[in-house]
Amino acid sequence: MLELNNLHAHVVPEDGPSREILKGLSLAVPAGEVHAIMGPNGSGKSTLSYVLTGKHGYDVTGGSATFDGTDLLSLEPEVRAAKGLFLSFQYPLEIAGVPVMTFVRAAMNAQRKARGEPEVSAPEFLKLSKLAATKLRIDSDMLKRPLNVGFSGGEKKRLEIYQMLMLQPRFMILDETDSGLDIDALKVVAEGVNALRGAGRGMLVITHYQRLLDYIKPDRVHILSAGRIVKSGGPDLALELEKSGYDQFLKVD
């Protein structure tokens, strides 16, 4: 479903020289599978999520990324979103003056329009929203407030998953979704994520710690170091990492 082949990417800061972060990353996530990417700070985890979703400030210098066989890298971010790519942000942005529900409905309809589907009706939208909010134990008042403004770290993460449930993406990238969550919130969020596992969907769970993977069980685990996958394995690999740390995998070169 998602295939990355020898991907090279630079981060291009507004001030200062560009640096290569991804140095030949290859990875394949077939439909129906959940893959975890683990790695130490600075290994390129967030860069990977931004390159895949098309954020400004990153320059792909080599290799390819395809989604269902389509070249992902040439598409605008909103086109990638309409194709079903969703990023749960590590640091969700605050959007002043735009209420959560107004925003999600606009996003939903923009995606539908891009796919040539009819708009969601108001009652249908409200029904979906209520279901998602109940599942994630989100207070309905929160959905009327401006997006993420004044929300706690945990509330923001919960709201990312709310958006995911509403937009029903086909491929999800979860960037450090566990950070800022206590154990109860983590379980609620994991439940929401697991509800989206299924035959036609893929998922990339980017995380620092094994903890999240107790609740979102991956099919495969990859270790990212210095911009490359240095080891891949089954779910056990995450446990091994937790026990003995990253060091054993970082001395590859």
Partner 1 sequence: MDLADLPSRRTEAWKWSDLRAAMSNQESVLIGTGAMPAEGPIAALAEMFGDGYGASALVVEAPGDTFESGITEGDAGQYGSVIVKAGATATMIERIGVSGSRLRPFLPAYARIEIEPGAALHRIVMQANSAPADERDAAIVLNEVVVKLGEGASFRQFVVAEGSRLTRIETSVTAAGGAVVEMNAVYLAAANRHVDLTSRVAHAAPGVHTRQLVRGVARKGGRGVFQGKFLVERAGQKTDAEMAHNALLLEEGAEVFAKPELEIYADDVACAHGNTAGQIDEDAVFYLRQRGIPDIEARAMITRAFLLEALPDWIDEAVRAEVEMRIDAWLGGTS
What is the binding site for partner 1 (CB under 8 A)?
53-56, 76-78, 80-82, 86-87, 89, 92-98, 103-104, 106-108, 110-111, 114, 146, 163, 167
**Closer residue to partner 1, CB minimum distance, 71 or 94:** 94
CB of 151 to partner 1, least distance (A): 14
Query: Contact 53/173 with Cβ under 8 angstroms?
Result: yes
Contacts of 102 (CB under 8 A, 6+ apart): none
Burial pattern 193-221, b for ≥16 Cβ within 10 A else e, equals beebbeeebbbbbbbbebebbebbebbbb
The strand ranges marked E within the chain are 2-11, 19-29, 34-38, 58-67, 70-71, 85-88, 171-175, 202-207, 220-225, 228-233
CB of 82 to partner 1, least distance (A): 5
Among 160, 147, 153, 156, residue whose Cα is nearest residue 192: 160
**Closer residue to partner 1, CB minimum distance, 56 or 251:** 56
CB of 55 to partner 1, least distance (A): 5
Contacts of 251 (CB under 8 A, 6+ apart): none
**Closer residue to partner 1, CB minimum distance, 149 or 250:** 149
**Closer residue to partner 1, CB minimum distance, 114 or 252:** 114
**Closer residue to partner 1, CB minimum distance, 38 or 87:** 87
**Closer residue to partner 1, CB minimum distance, 31 or 98:** 98
CB of 93 to partner 1, least distance (A): 4
Per-residue tokens: 247: 């060091």
CB of 53 to partner 1, least distance (A): 5
CB of 77 to partner 1, least distance (A): 4
Q: Residue 170 — φ and ψ, nearest 5°?
A: -95, -25
> Angle at CA 174, nearest 5°, toward 217 and 202?
65
